[in-house]
A and B are shown apart, each in its own frame.
Chain A
Amino acid sequence: MELTGAQALVKSLEMQEVEVMFGLPGGAILPVYDPIIDSPIRHILVRHEQGAGHMAEGYAQATGRPGVAMVTSGPAATNIVTALADAYMDSIPLVCITGQVATSAIGTDAFQETDTTGITLGVTKHNWLVTDAADIPQIVREAFHIATTGRPGPVLIDFPKDVANASMEWYWPDGVDLPGYHPASHPDPEAIRAAAALILAAERPVIYAGGGILKSRASEALRELVNLTGIPVVTTLMARGSFPDSDPLCLGMPGMHGNYAAVTAMQRADLLLALGSRFDDRVTGKVSAFAPGAKVVHVDIDKAEIGKVRRPDVGVVADCRLAIEALVGEIKAFGSPDDNWLAPWIATIRRWQAEYPCTYDRSESGRGATSGTSRRPTLKPQFVIESLRAATPADTILVSGVGQHQMWASQYWSFEYPNTWINSGGLGTMGFAVPAAIGAKVGRPDRMVWAVDGDGCFQMTAQELATATAERVPVKIAILNNAYLGMVRQWQHMFYEERYSEVYLSPDLPDYVGWAESMGCIGLRVESPEEVTPAIEKANEIDDRPVVIDFRTDSMEQVFPIVPAGASNDDIVTYQSRSGSGAEVLP
């Protein structure tokens, strides 16, 4: 069967069981958009290529399947680089297809030409420039294989226009031919024995669960390990939901804005069992002062993560689920630990939890203090998150942007299920939430999908709500509108003597309700605590279009606890009530 390169590409995507792709056509990719008309693959037409990338990320994280995005050459390719970098940092499987000028024009500074494979070299797991239409099925098969196996990540196929128009004899390859690619899978039994021995010898162990738990679908295995050993668990920003917050042994999020108990348990631990986590600087704080008394067992599928930041006592290069299952078997073989072996340690942690809970001053009722013509809202952002949690189903997928609202969402939402939390963890990409929520809802139409966004973030990618309306993707967006680039403001407050530089955005510009409505969404505004739950309930009832709620929140509110950048986690600063002693925030 003779096909054009473009037809072969689309057919290859069908062979990979792609059900949806996110994209925007243009000159160099035009040939591929023609067979799309006849393909069963759903195409979501975005308004900006970055949106296509983040939608594919949201889709991938909600479904566990690779996300697919397709855009044209030049500026379209550069527009999607941010999403590739984001996916690379957070190990999200993406397959991105970019158009490219004809092979004869490559290197001539042709119209809409960029060196896309060169530009994306450092932000993809691998990329290809297709030079022969006969290679297309093989490359597509390898692309999906690389994106989804081992440590997942984004890959990119750069597709010149003449290759798309060339003809080839269709075939589907039997497998991949990658002599240099051997992703880890099963753990070394000797390393597992050594790890189990360290675990059973520990008195103050902590499981440091990272995003690898979700990537390897290891939540059940983790549950079994915890049931067997009674070891408390911290779940990193990328692992929220991998172990339920409602479990008494879940200490919540560690790190810069982590719970006091989670941060301090790691600091005082004599053993850290790191499972699919990478000792990120936002978790460790000052590395030399991080968990100084702890031996470390580090399980990761990426060998380069073992010892990159902290040299482990036992390193296990393996799929997280297989390693945890092996550990469970090994610990059982040793003889399961006594029920009370960790009682003193757990009692200590309970004291920390009781003494330093994650807390905030309750919202005053009404719409806030008026001075002259302006009114300062007193609605607490944390209260909005708690109200949202209370009013939505347990398996709601929560998506966030980056900043204060993201930290509050992680702190005050109670995550019960894997893959219900989607955010930009490693790259910290403002503007992630709206498109990622759309991608998540496309992948999981059966679930309620809420995005919590900041007013700064929202303005970066809000145009994708037009996509959501046009494609009938009923996402719900809660803007915590504090009229500032809030996290930057907080740092200027704490570390730059309250000299606020270029952080004020205005609560009314743009008019978020009007903007939402102009894009076919329902727009609501909430200014007092009393209005919060009714507005959420109203939004939950709307299932035929997106909803945006503009929550006017207290701009003075700050994220606590905080470990100042570069400080030791021992120097964690917990919440200081502004209505209480008025104590200075920092030592």
Chain B
Amino acid sequence: MSADQRRYGPRHRLLSVLVENKAGVLARVAGLFSRRGYNIYSLAVAPTDNERFSRISIVVDVESAPLEQVVAQLDKLINVVEIGELHPDEAREAELLLVSVSVDARQRSQVIELVGVFGGRIVDVGHDAITVMVAGTPEAIDDFEDLMRPYGIAGLQRTGRIALPKLDGRSSASGAAAPPVGIA
């Protein structure tokens, strides 16, 4: 897969935004992006271990605006507590994919084999389709989605990228988030 086919190119940067867990905060963040003309590529939000705060992981298209300006404007939102940029080399990134793939009986085993390679799970089986769940780096999810496409994708949902900084400043990929197959 060439670089420009990749969903996450150099124009995409990941912001990890800690916000107060209050009504309407997501609307404030999304509204800021739309009224200032910034593009959101993906967005994931959930409460943190401290229920007073939520963490929003936003993949920003920096071709639409300089990242510095996006961060400065976000920082002006009263409910935004902390903003960090997570560089791919310094972060553990993960994404979850659910995909329903059209398969006949013969193809099914091929798909199940690929799911195994990517460490995924079969979550539903029908007469002419199966639904699988794969978690991994966004790049691995890209690759898996690519491999499924020839079979025929009947439905697909990705969560958007979430991330945390690497521990102890290590920069080599390892553990659950590492891509299972060759990633350029």
Interface of A with B (CB < 8 Å)?
Answer: 117-118, 121-122, 125-126, 129, 131, 146, 178-181, 302-304, 306-308
Contacts and interface: CB of A to CB of B under 8 A. Distances in A.
Interface in B1-45: 19-20, 23-24, 27-28, 31, 35
B31 A180 contact: no
Given A121-B28, A122-B35, A180 B72 contact: no
Contacts of B131: none
B27 A180 contact: no
Given A179-B20, A304-B76, 14 more contacts: A122-B31, A125-B76, A125-B78, A131-B23, A178-B78, A180-B19, A180-B77, A180-B79, A180-B81, A180-B82, A303-B75, A306-B72, A307-B68, A308-B69
A304 B81 contact: no
Given A180-B81, A304-B69, A118 B76 contact: no
Given A146-B78, A180-B20, A304 B35 contact: no
Contact of A179 (B35, B66, B81): B81
B171 interface: no
B72 A304 contact: yes
B48 interface: no
Nearest to B24: A117
B75 to A, nearest CB: 7
A125 B28 CA distance: 11
A126 B78 contact: yes
Contact of B73 (A117, A126, A181, A304): A304
Contacts of B82: 180
A118 B27 CA distance: 8
Q: Which 10 A-B pairs have the closest CB atoms?
A: A304-B72, A180-B81, A126-B78, A122-B35, A303-B72, A121-B31, A180-B80, A304-B73, A179-B81, A181-B78
Contacts of B69: 304, 307-308
Interface residues on B, range: 20 to 34
B76 A121 contact: no
A307 B24 CA distance: 29
A223 B78 CA distance: 34
A180 B24 contact: no
Nearest to B19: A180
B72 A121 contact: no
27 contacts: A117-B24, A118-B27, A121-B27, A121-B31, A122-B31, A122-B35, A125-B76, A125-B78, A129-B23, A178-B78, A179-B20, A180-B19, A180-B77, A180-B78, A180-B79, A180-B80, A180-B82, A181-B78, A302-B76, A303-B72, A303-B75, A304-B73, A304-B75, A304-B76, A306-B72, A307-B68, A308-B69
A181 B81 CA distance: 7
A160 B72 CA distance: 33
A178 B80 CA distance: 10
A357 to B, nearest CB: 39
Interface in B58-106: 66, 68-69, 72-73, 75-82
Contacts of A121: 27-28, 31
A180 B17 CA distance: 11
Contacts of B81: 179-180
Interface in B154-183: none
A399 B144 CA distance: 65
A181 B78 CA distance: 5
Contacts of A122: 31, 35
Nearest to A306: B72
A283 to B, nearest CB: 19
Instruction: Give the most central of B31, B69, B78, B82: most A CB within 10 Å.
Output: B78
Nearest to B53: A179
Contacts of B27: 118, 121
A181 B75 CA distance: 8
Contacts of A131: 23
Contacts of B72: 303-304, 306, 308
B33 to A, nearest CB: 11
Contacts of A117: 24
A122 B34 CA distance: 10
A296 to B, nearest CB: 16
B93 to A, nearest CB: 25
Interface string B108-136: 00000000000000000000000000000
Contacts of B24: 117, 129
A472 to B, nearest CB: 39
A180 B78 CA distance: 5
Nearest to A142: B78
A285 to B, nearest CB: 21
Contacts of B77: 180
Contacts of B73: 304
Contacts of B78: 125-126, 146, 178, 180-181
A577 B125 CA distance: 85
